[in-house]
Amino acid sequence: MQDLTSGKPAKVILMFAIPLMLGNMVQQLYNISDTLIVGQTLGVNSLAAVGATGSIQFLVMGFVQGFSSGMAIITAQRYGAQNVRGVRESYAASIVAALIMSLILTVVSLVFIDNLMHAMQMPAAIYGQAKLFIGIILAGTVMTMGYNVISNALRAVGDSKAPLYYLIIGMIVNVSLELLLILKFHWGVEGAATATVFAQFVTVVISHWHITRYTDTLRLSWSDFKLKKGDLRQHMMAGLPMGFQQSIIAIGSVTLATAVNTLGTDAVAANTAASKVDQISTQLLMSVGVAMATYTAQNFGAGKYDRILEGVKSSLKMSISMSFVLGAIEVIFGRILVTLFVGAGQHEVMDLAQEFFWANGPFYFILSTLFVLRYTLQGLGDVRTPTFAGMGEMVMRTITAFALVGWLGFFGASLANPLAWLGSLLFLVPAWLRMVKRLRQLIKPAAVEENLN
């Protein structure tokens, strides 16, 4: 476990973020394995079927990730305040809230899946495979929730390495089982989905074992589940806004996917393949933001407000520098990367994917700024501003996707992403400037008290 309340902020954030970056890379490889294996073994239609459900996955799984990370902010703040009992109670409340929310999400998503797919104008040629794939994934929502709650709790107490190790094991299980089910037993897209859900189950089991064996701070007894009055509500109120924030952003992605669906199967396949490459870059940049959420929460709990301001400056420099490198790689090597998902002969798909990279890569510096500010505000307990920012992102993505697709085609739809990021910053930047003023006011009394002591 790592204490983020001492040491040079830049070094502390980087050392905490590196396992997160590797973990997010593994997570993307985890997700990409479905696309890569399906695209290379089952063909373009199956690839498009899996890819067309990506926005639905993001809608539900984005809520899961946001919900679990929101609850972990409370855990991190209590850890920063050295409230060990409070940390355990927070983790127990998170588990109870997660079980309740998993049940609700699974039932609602499976009941309304057809309505959503029809609303997205899913092409008839891929509808059956797409529904089969996403149905299995949604049925395993509790596994995704379980892993996210455990991994976020570990990160809240400063352990960003253990989630990485167990995610790697899960990826190996996923790829191995997927190849077996598709190539040996000819299960098709249902084999890819089944392998994903089973691999998530494996990560939940081994992550829970790690906590019971090695992490005293999070090792629970039955007494920890006797929640204090208001504890469950507090965690729900911390998790729900962040979950809705991710889902709101995902709704924008669903509308973007709907716009792309009107352009045909090649456009869907290109968007699928290019998005997988884009998600690697996005997750690397997001890792710095996620690190800032834990760093900020721990230091806020410890009353070290000056370290928060210093940490934001360091993380912005780090993240923006990364964004230029990642954008250049996509623009220069994009076509080569896309051939991992589609055959070398799919020239139309590759050309469209390159348009996606030109529309997104040069503007990653906007996204990197968004991540740092959003997660820092969340670490400080501000859930309202990121939610409004998510709404701004959704509205901008929806309007621009449909406005530009008729004018610029696939390139216009791809431009909806950077324009949506700008929509989010319109909320985040003013909120952060107000927060800077507030933190500076808190620093002065703390400095006076320290001098008196």
8 A C-beta contact, residue 305 and residue 442 = yes
Specify if 1 maps to a domain.
no
Q: 385-389 contacts: CB < 8 A, separation 24 or more?
A: 385/427, 385/428, 385/431, 386/241, 386/242, 386/245, 386/428, 387/241, 387/242, 387/244, 387/245, 387/248, 388/427, 389/245, 389/424, 389/425, 389/426, 389/427, 389/428
pLDDT in tens, 70-85: 999 999 999 999 999 9
pLDDT in tens, 99-122: 999 999 999 999 999 998 998 888
Specify if 4 maps to a domain.
no
Specify if 41 maps to a domain.
yes
Specify if 99 maps to a domain.
yes
Q: Cα separation of 380 and 385, whole Å? A: 11
Average pLDDT value for residue range 121-135? 91
Specify if 131 maps to a domain.
yes
Give the per-residue pLDDT at 452.
Answer: 45
Specify if 117 maps to a domain.
yes
Average pLDDT value for residue range 383-396? 89
Average pLDDT value for residue range 8-12? 93
pLDDT in tens, 407-429: 888 998 889 999 999 999 999 99
Specify if 379 maps to a domain.
yes
Specify if 134 maps to a domain.
yes
pTM above the 0.85 mark?
A: no
Give the per-residue pLDDT at 279.
Answer: 84
For residue 448, pLDDT beyond 50: no
Q: Which among 273, 281, 250, 265 has a CA at the least distance from the CA of 390?
A: 250
Count other Cβ atoms within 10 Å, centred on residue 14.
16
Token representation of residue 228: 């204090």
- Under the banding of pLDDT at 50, 70 and 90, the label for residue 319 is very high
pLDDT in tens, 140-154: 999 999 999 999 999
- Under the banding of pLDDT at 50, 70 and 90, the label for residue 390 is confident
Number of separate domains in the chain: 1
Structural domain harbouring 402: 9-452
